[in-house]
Amino acid sequence: MANFETPEIKEYPTIPLIKEGVMAHSKPFISKDAFQQPLGFPGELLDNWQDVAIEKMGEMLGKYRGLQVFLDSCVKCGACTDKCHYFLGTSDPKNMPVARQDLLRKVYRRYFTFAGKYFPKLVGAVDMTKEVLDDWYSYFHQCSQCRRCSVYCPYGIDTAEISMAAREIMDAVGVGQKYCNEIIAKVYKIGNNLGLPEPALRDTLEGLEEDVLEDTGVAVKYPLDVKGADILLVTPSADFFAEPHVDGLIGYGKVFHAAGASWTISSHASEAANFGMFIGSYENMRKVALRIREAALDLGVKRIIFGECGHAWRVAYSFLNTLAGPFDFLDPRYPVPQHICEYTYDLLKRGALTMDKSANDHMRLTFHDSCNVARASRMGDLPGGQFVIPREVIKASCNHFYDMNADTIHEGTFCCGGGGGLLTDDLMEIRVKGALPRMSALKQVVEEHGVTHLAAICAICKSQFSKVMPYYGFQMSQIVSVHQLVSNAIVLNDKQ
Ligand code: SF4
Ligand code: SF4
């Protein structure tokens, strides 16, 4: 347990009184040269960093029109101020979305607007100084890019895009974040965030096959690098070993087995996560995404299905085709890509799976909508499918399901507190404090409906909750994978 106070869960959600600068000390470790270079960034703060930062900002304003619109259109209405979980959990006014945006907006005005160039004080424009850069490094790493604030902004201003832009500028001047950049470098070198090489991955999957056989008496396969398989499963590498993630992977395998599907995992693209998005670097996002294309071509698959990972699904759903497409070599009868929940839901609808819901009777469940699935993508071919489909899969797997308060689910969902590249121990304080709104909503359903477990479809949410739930009096085992529920309930017969 780190040295800070866990916020108190109140009976009713309250907007805190502001405490200036209380989170100014929160900064992630700075990336070393060894992790900067493979991503194409300078290894340390450049001598002429101010010039490079302004030049980079100008380049991005030209490339990303939305960025300029977001910077120009805020009317300071205040609707977003109490919508960020990090403000609600810390009381620091710079964690209000509008104040976070202003950190970049002030510099933008100084160098890119007439009024800011000639009358800076009148429009709150400031020079790009080291103090400003330090503030950026701190507060743009207290934004999980969850986009909750944008839902409530009358202009739809997306603070996530602004924080991604700030991180891209910081990387360009040599001040990158260690956690994200080290991980991306690992993907380039080994193929996944964990640095799990092919032999270790093969061992792990064989171990899973033995465990499932022992448990169920059924020879469910977890295949690796099978050429000519129909389906390529791309899943977060956490699924290969950590609890509760691996229980989800076991579930995917059982679903494929029950459907008689031919599928494989790839050792080349053994990672669904794409941290290129967190650092705002489309170039790195593209390089990571291309590994999936290469694997699909090499293995000759017909479909691509993603496992449970929130931001990976955003990158896949929103960007995969533009980053790594066209995928015209895949079977056109299936969407590119598909989510594992979509796949399972389709089988359930067709009556192709036999489920024994009582296998989950020891749990009373609620569901956490992950931000990148809820607000930045969709699932299936129905509007709001990203809310309906996972819930239908859960309800088909258990007898006791209760949603949390309506203000805290669907598009209004609260971030777990660890998204957007913040899932690192050096940011534990902001992670714990940022989890307050979700923990408050969870406590309410625990008290009202006796909920015992929280299900999620995101590797980051699952890891974050395992770590922060004990701070709020819950147990780390209370977070479960959606396909873990499927795995418990699915009845396998051995026809396949
Ligand atoms: S995107 Fe999310 S974390 Fe960032 S400011 Fe908005 S609400 Fe806060
Ligand atoms: S809700 Fe939108 S317009 Fe209003 S202060 Fe926030 S960002 Fe600005």
12 is a domain residue: no
Which residue has a Cα nearest atom 8 of ligand 2? Answer: 74
- According to DSSP, residue 352 is labeled -
User: Cα(198) to centroid of ligand 2, in Å?
Assistant: 48
Asked if 157 and 226 sit in the same domain, the reply is: no
Determine the pLDDT at residue 343: 98
CA 84, CA 98: separation in Å to the nearest integer? 10
* Structure confidence by residue, pLDDT tens digits, 258-279: 999 999 999 999 999 999 999 9
pLDDT at 241: 84
Residues in the chain: 496
Of 176, 205, 223, which marks where a domain is finished? 176
Same domain, 243 and 329: yes
Whether 146 is in a domain gets the answer: yes
CA angle, residues 460, 305, 160, in degrees to nearest 5: 40
Residue 371 in tokens: 């931000």
Distance CA 195, CA 367 (A): 30
Q: For residue 399, is pLDDT > 70? A: yes
* Closest CA to ligand 2's atom 3: 74
Question: Could you say which ligand is closest to the alpha carbon of residue 160?
Answer: 1
* 173 touches 31 (CB < 8 A): no
Look at ligand 2, atom 1, and give the residue with the nearest C-alpha. 153
Q: Is the pLDDT of residue 238 over 70?
A: yes
Of 429, 435, 384, 381, which Cα lies nearest the Cα of 408?
Answer: 435
Number of domains in the chain: 2
Q: Please name the residue whose Cα sits nearest to atom 7 of ligand 1.
A: 84
Domain end, chosen from 129, 154, 176, is at 176
Give me the CATH number covering residue 128: 1.10.1060
Ligand 1 center–CA 160 separation, angstroms? 6
User: How far from the centroid of its chain's Cα atoms is residue 263's Cα?
Assistant: 25
Pairwise CA distance, residues 264 & 199, whole Å: 16
Does 271 lie in the same domain as 398? Answer: yes
**Residue 248 and residue 397 share a domain:** yes
State if residue 80 touches ligand 2 by the CB under 6 angstroms criterion: yes
* Residue range(s) defining the domain that contains residue 52: 33-176
Span from the CA of 487 to the centroid of ligand 1 (angstroms): 34
Kindly report the protein residue whose alpha carbon is nearest to atom 8 of ligand 1: 84
Q: How far does residue 17's CA lie from ligand 2's centre (Å)?
A: 19
Dump the DSSP string for 416-444: -S-TTT--SGGGHHHHHHHTHHHHHHHHH
User: Which 8-state DSSP code applies to residue 3?
Assistant: S
Q: Assess whether 50 and 194 both reside in one domain.
A: no
Contact indicator for 190, 197 with CB cutoff of 8 Å: yes
Q: Whose CA is nearest to atom 6 of ligand 1?
A: 149
Closest C-alpha among 148, 59, 161 to residue 105: 161
Ligand 1 probe mutation, 23, 100, 144, most atoms within 8 A of CB:
144
The verdict on 107 and 253 lying in the same domain is no
Is 240 found in the same domain as 167?
no
pLDDT tops 70 at residue 496? no
309 within domain boundaries: yes
Residue 463 pLDDT > 60, yes or no? yes
Helix (H) or strand (E) holding 479: strand 479-481
Say yes or no: 332 and 261 in one domain: yes
Answer yes or no: is 421 within a domain: no
pLDDT digits (tens, 9 = 90+) for 153-205: 999 999 999 999 999 999 999 999 999 999 999 999 888 888 889 999 999 99
Residues 103 and 195 in one domain: no
The set of protein residues with a Cβ atom below 6 angstroms from ligand 1 is: 83-84, 86, 97, 100, 143-149, 159-160, 163, 415
Whether residues 396 and 467 share a domain: the answer is yes
Q: 86 CA distance to ligand 1 centroid (A)?
A: 8
Q: What is the pLDDT of residues 385-397, one digit of tens each?
A: 999 999 999 999 9
Ligand 2 atom 2 nearest Cα: 153
Asked whether residue 495 carries a pLDDT value surpassing 60, the answer given is no
Question: What pTM was computed for the model?
Answer: 0.96
For a mutational test of ligand 2's pocket, the pick from 157, 161, 162, i.e. the residue with the most ligand atoms closer than 8 A to its C-beta, is 157
Q: Comparing C-alpha atoms, which of 1, 123, 148, 126 is closest to residue 54?
A: 126
pLDDT tens by residue, 269-328? 999 999 999 999 999 999 999 999 999 999 999 999 999 999 999 999 999 999 999 999
Cα of 302 to ligand 1 centre, how many Å?
37
408, part of any domain: no
Mean pLDDT on 348-374? 98
- Looking from the CA of residue 76, the nearest atom of ligand 2 is 5
Q: Are residues 82 and 199 in the same domain?
A: no
Ligand 2 centroid distance, CA of 20 (Å): 20
Same domain, 127 and 225: no
Q: What is the pLDDT of residue 2?
A: 56
Residue 358 above 60 pLDDT?
yes
Ligand 1: centre distance to CA 113 (Å): 26
Measure the N-to-C terminal CA separation of the chain; round to a whole number of Å. Answer: 48
Report if residue 416 sits inside a domain.
no
Query: CA-to-CA distance for 148 and 159, rounded, in angstroms?
Result: 9
Q: Which of 144, 176, 208 is the last residue of a domain?
A: 176
Q: Which ligand is nearest to the CA of 79?
A: 2
CA of 406 relative to ligand 2 center, distance in Å: 23
> How much distance in Å is there from the Cα of 75 to the middle of ligand 2?
6
Q: How far is CA 65 from CA 20, 48, 69, 282, in A?
A: 32, 26, 6, 15
Per-residue confidence (pLDDT) for residue 494, from 0 to 100: 61
